[in-house]
Chain A
């Protein structure tokens, strides 16, 4: 279960616990229901995922059964198809209804699946959606510890483990994997009343860390779990480590001893470029299979370097957000990149395959790959002594990055931004934060670190800020306002949107996409924008599927901030799968745009089935549109009634797209991607190239982050 907390209220300790958002994942519906009630008593807001069968969305099948997953990306609503009267299902429904007023979705449960995965995806999509996660240890679809590590690494959310088994060994395991706390069933309300402390603690540490310059190399007294030499100057990492330490210290109530056995402080080793070059050379020499720290150490032949240092560095390579990010900052030369790539290749295959950042150095293609892999890598690595919960927003970002090559760099906060750097459609939009050297995707990771919150939404907001805020200005607000699942999707979508050049605008769409979460007010705000931009025209499109037209047009049209957002969502939808994604997004987006356009008909916020239903129906439309527009389907959105004047838009887009025929082509080619492949307008050949590369990656990468094992590393290069 993941607990979400309203970020805004963090600083205010008094009111904070109230309204803290918790996401709970458990396969036991009884416990889930109990938790729901208990959390409600504590005045937390929760979203509860019981393990009910929902088809794995990894194949993105938009058949009747597999509706939930893509919607997940929309983050707002799980796709409910039919109300299924079963206690567990009712439970979830109830939880939704209670906490998400706009929800009323009938659920269709299919067997087995991945609730934990869904929860994870949801988390990924909107990092700012939840404050805390409560997760069961034993779950059918995913090991609770694995989820714990992933959440900790990617989202840096406090995770509380829950189990009927109070075995100290398990408790220890939980702690070592980074859990903030370990509760034993039955859960009592007194225990839950105190869980907010973990959120506050983490937030405080985060803010402290964020204040420090990431480049600043500080003597890091923090204790890295099992690592003797943390990445130098990685404030985030330090922050995390510090936090971890504090969390560990605070876990006395459970009787858990301090989890970090290597509390010893070791002198930090700064991995200079030279050192890293040697490291890479050694790794290359040894080959992937044989690149063990000991041998690497021997080959490097550096005085004062210990095996632990090397191991840590090797491990850090797996998490791009750590050392790699830092490294990237220091190195911007292509040669280095090549070395990195080689190193990445040379390093142990499975974890390394995932190391995207190396590839990505300056190469968007590579980014695409690693981005995705990171998650996989992380999970892969979780068992190892990985650095506790290293927040690797980069990982997450990378994911986001891949979809949108054009993402506007807008904000550091906006992980997506990093991606946008690639696209750089609107240089003006590029935020100052962006680190040009990092470029493709890397910057996003950097930015992410700083942000600590990979809120796509925030990114979106940022985008707006960066952007001329023409349209998106409001949108960003809207986005921020909409806690919805913009999550990862947002990031992705944003990027795609940016590609449209609007960057700002589209992002919002992603965010807004989650119709469920969209607050009416948020929608309103978004509405504002479009008006300004659009000449109030024909946005009153009939409710036909909003499709891409609207959205795609947005990016192209720079007038439609709304479109962009919506389009972004729709854009990437090439395949039906994409469409699904889009649908999720579209739903959200469409909502926004529709709202903007005064389409009040659709009730996006509610994420009503109508919207979704329409989305589905739009699928085919989208495809058609894609052909026309070259934009991924927005059709899904269309369901929402965002009937943005498709026809008109299409036309407009058509003309505009002409200029971007190539882009469209690319967009079409691009498979839908798990995260949020948002179609983007490619402004330059490079972008297109990147998109194509990405497409390759996308195609190879399954939608599901977890399942990513077969990623061919070489493909990215």
Chain B
């Protein structure tokens, strides 16, 4: 996967993703796709939780924000582990808003987050598809990497 690929260029992905790719070797041939699939799976869950938290939250209600903060923290951690730079940046802004107990800010950040996440997902799917085609073209036997919806 070249650096010139869209996700990286557009800034959705940073060099952490490249590190992931470098970790992929014979002993873990599908490492990147596995990690990304897990990420998608977990992110869907977290985003749903965040959406619920945002709807439930009441300004100045600490416990709601706390819960949101936990989900957010996890989302941020996984996003940064996978190299999802833009998603992570939005998470940072989201966290700032939640720390200030700013409900409107949280909602805005959440929307932006969902947008960035969708964008990232599309880009990664494209990336995998391109990769698969490349492999097929090269005639190398490669395990099918399912693209999670």
A residues apposed to B, CB below 8 Å: 27-31, 33-34, 37-38, 40-41, 86-88, 90-91, 136, 138, 140, 163-165, 185-189
Contact = CB atoms under 8 A, between A and B. Distances in A.
B77 A87 contact: no
Given A138-B74, A186-B81, A29 B42 contact: yes
A239 to B, nearest CB: 34
B74 A186 contact: no
B20 A34 contact: yes
B23 A37 contact: yes
Given A31-B78, A34-B81, 10 more contacts: A29-B42, A29-B78, A30-B77, A33-B38, A34-B20, A38-B23, A87-B42, A88-B38, A163-B73, A185-B81
Nearest to A189: B19
Interface in B53-106: 70, 73-74, 76-78, 80-83
A33 B77 contact: no
Interface of B: 16, 19-20, 23, 27-28, 31, 34-35, 37-39, 41-42, 70, 73-74, 76-78, 80-83
A28 B19 contact: no
B136 to A, nearest CB: 25
A31 B77 contact: yes
12 contacts: A27-B74, A30-B39, A30-B81, A34-B20, A34-B35, A37-B23, A88-B38, A88-B42, A90-B34, A140-B70, A164-B80, A185-B80
A38 B31 CA distance: 11
B28 A37 contact: yes
Contacts of A41: 23
A111 to B, nearest CB: 13
Contacts of B77: 28, 30-31, 136, 163-164, 185
Among the interface residues A38, A88, A163, A165, which one has the most CB atoms of the partner chain B within 10 A?
Answer: A165
B28 A30 contact: no
Given A30-B82, A31-B81, A138 B73 contact: yes
A37 B77 CA distance: 17
Contacts of A33: 34-35, 38
A626 B114 CA distance: 59
B19 to A, nearest CB: 7
Nearest to B38: A87
A186 B76 CA distance: 9
Given A27-B74, A37-B23, A40-B27, A186 B35 contact: no
Contacts of A28: 42, 74, 77-78, 81
Nearest to B71: A138
A692 B76 CA distance: 51
Contacts of A189: 19, 23
Contacts of B28: 37, 40
B73 A87 contact: no
Q: Which 8 A-B pairs have the closest CB atoms?
A: A164-B77, A87-B38, A30-B78, A186-B80, A164-B76, A186-B81, A31-B81, A185-B77
A393 B22 CA distance: 42
B96 to A, nearest CB: 12
Nearest to B148: A87
Contacts of B83: 186
Contacts of B16: 186
Contacts of A86: 41
Among the interface residues B31, B35, B42, B81, which one has the most CB atoms of the partner chain A within 10 A?
Answer: B81
A280 B46 CA distance: 52
Contacts of B34: 33, 87, 90-91
A136 B81 CA distance: 13
Among the interface residues B28, B38, B77, B80, which one has the most CB atoms of the partner chain A within 10 A?
Answer: B77
Given A41-B23, A189-B19, A164 B38 contact: no
Nearest to B76: A164
Nearest to A33: B35
Nearest to B74: A28
Contacts of A136: 77
Contacts of B76: 164-165, 185
Contacts of B31: 37
A29 B38 contact: yes
Among the interface residues A27, A31, A90, A163, which one has the most CB atoms of the partner chain B within 10 A?
Answer: A31
Contacts of A138: 70, 73-74
A300 B41 CA distance: 62
A1 to B, nearest CB: 13
Contacts of B82: 30, 34, 186
B81 A187 contact: yes
Contacts of A187: 81
Contacts of B78: 28-31
A33 B38 CA distance: 9
A138 B68 CA distance: 13
A189 B27 CA distance: 17
Contacts of A31: 77-78, 81
A27 B38 CA distance: 13
Nearest to B77: A164
Among the interface residues A34, A88, A138, A163, which one has the most CB atoms of the partner chain B within 10 A?
Answer: A34
A164 B46 CA distance: 15
A25 to B, nearest CB: 13
B35 A30 contact: yes
Contacts of A188: 19
A165 B76 CA distance: 8
Nearest to B43: A30
A38 B28 CA distance: 11
A136 B42 CA distance: 17
B31 to A, nearest CB: 6
A629 to B, nearest CB: 48
B23 to A, nearest CB: 5
Contacts of B23: 34, 37-38, 41, 189
Contacts of B19: 188-189
Nearest to A51: B74
Contacts of B73: 138, 163-165
A87 B37 contact: yes
Nearest to B72: A164
A87 B81 contact: no
A38 B35 CA distance: 13
Nearest to A86: B41
A502 to B, nearest CB: 44
Contacts of A91: 34, 38
Nearest to B17: A186
A86 B31 CA distance: 16
Among the interface residues A29, A33, A163, which one has the most CB atoms of the partner chain B within 10 A?
Answer: A33
Contacts of B81: 28, 30-31, 34, 185-187
A67 to B, nearest CB: 24
Contacts of B35: 30, 33-34
A149 to B, nearest CB: 20
B89 to A, nearest CB: 13
Contacts of A165: 73, 76
A140 to B, nearest CB: 8
Nearest to B16: A186
Among the interface residues A31, A185, A186, which one has the most CB atoms of the partner chain B within 10 A?
Answer: A186
Contacts of A40: 27-28
Contacts of A37: 23, 28, 31
Contacts of B70: 138, 140
Among the interface residues A29, A41, A164, A187, which one has the most CB atoms of the partner chain B within 10 A?
Answer: A164
Contacts of B37: 87
B142 to A, nearest CB: 19
Contacts of B42: 28-30, 87-88
A689 B31 CA distance: 57
A669 to B, nearest CB: 43
